[in-house]
Amino acid sequence: MTTQAILGLTGVLAVAALAQGEAPPAAVRVASGPSVVSVFEGDHLLMEYAYEGVPFKPYVRKFLSPGGANVLRDRVPDHPHHHALMFAVAVDGVDFWAETKANGREVHKGFAEMKALAPDSLLPAVLTETLDWVGPNGEKPLARERRTIEVHHGPSLGASLLTWRTQLEPPEGKPSIKLSGSHYFGLGLRFPASMDGKAEFFTARGPRDGEVVRGDETMGRGPWMACAGEIDGKPVTVAMFDSPANVRPALWFTMVQSFAYVSGTINLYREPLVVEAAKPLSLCYGLAVWDGRRKADEIEKLYKRWLELAKK
């Protein structure tokens, strides 16, 4: 769908809102450039997705709170392979997380879909990408991925909200692949420097808990993991959501002291997973960002709403 068509659908959203006596939503548009796709609400940037000019993996480069705070940090000097919000695991022993000559690459092949959705104003932007996961020698793909990013919209949400869907499967002619990796492999998020050493992780049960793997790196369970901190002197709260439809409940990797980081994982470091050609691996996670510090009950409320949105 063209940008003009997306803007046209935004007009339908506005009419529907006015008919219900509500303020019309700001125009939502998708701007596709040669290397980045951006999603805007009016003049406000919601998300940037980098897909070309990235040597090893496409990723969400920016994701902003309603007030404009970007909660993602990219290409950090201490870990240049940390790209904001990214997904990577090991496939048949090839590591796609790190970025050296020995590592694999997630190669953008094209966008299967880029459009606005139904006029309920909560799912206005959808981006679906196809990727080949190739080994260090650039041989035939080790795996294929269909990745969908949904940017939810609507003032009633009270937060910026994103859904990340990954469908990973063997390439044509290969019966299965084996997924494995380090304890932090999965959907990883690097926080801004202002949250390093100061981030406060918590779950519905209270402060983060779980098994300590090394240092302050903790593996905890729960339907969501939240983090409170400050960006440019302003408080924000970030939460990552797990879908109960995922093949395994999320095991959340978190760390604070060296730098602030969270990953949604499926415990591949202890339980490698074989994915067969007839049954692709489907994973679904959410990311919510609020301005200000939020309590567990408010996060739980949006989590339950996200579960309904993620079914659509």
Q: What is the pLDDT of residue 24?
A: 55
Residue 48 lies in a domain: no
Q: What is the pLDDT of residue 115?
A: 74
Q: What is the pLDDT of residue 305?
A: 96
Residue 96 lies in a domain: yes
| Tens of pLDDT, residue by residue, the chain (312 residues) | 333 333 333 333 333 333 445 555 566 788 889 999 999 888 889 999 999 999 899 999 999 999 999 999 998 888 989 999 999 999 999 999 999 999 999 999 999 988 765 444 455 689 999 999 999 988 789 999 999 999 987 788 999 999 999 999 999 999 999 999 999 999 999 999 999 999 999 999 988 888 999 988 999 999 999 999 999 999 999 999 999 999 999 999 999 999 999 999 999 999 999 999 999 999 999 999 999 999 999 999 999 999 999 987
Residue 250 lies in a domain: yes
Residue 3 lies in a domain: no
Number of domains composing the chain: 1
With a CB cutoff of 8 Å and minimum separation 6, the contacts of 268 are 89, 90, 179, 180, 181, 185, 186
Q: Where in the sequence is the domain holding 107, given as residue range(s)?
A: 71-310
From the list 90, 127, 130, the residue with the least C-alpha distance to 110 is: 130
From the list 151, 116, 122, the residue with the least C-alpha distance to 17 is: 122
CATH of the domain at 163: 2.70.98
Q: How far is CA 284 from the centre of its chain?
A: 9
Residue 174 lies in a domain: yes
Q: How far is the C-alpha of 13 from the C-alpha of 29, rounded, in Å?
A: 13
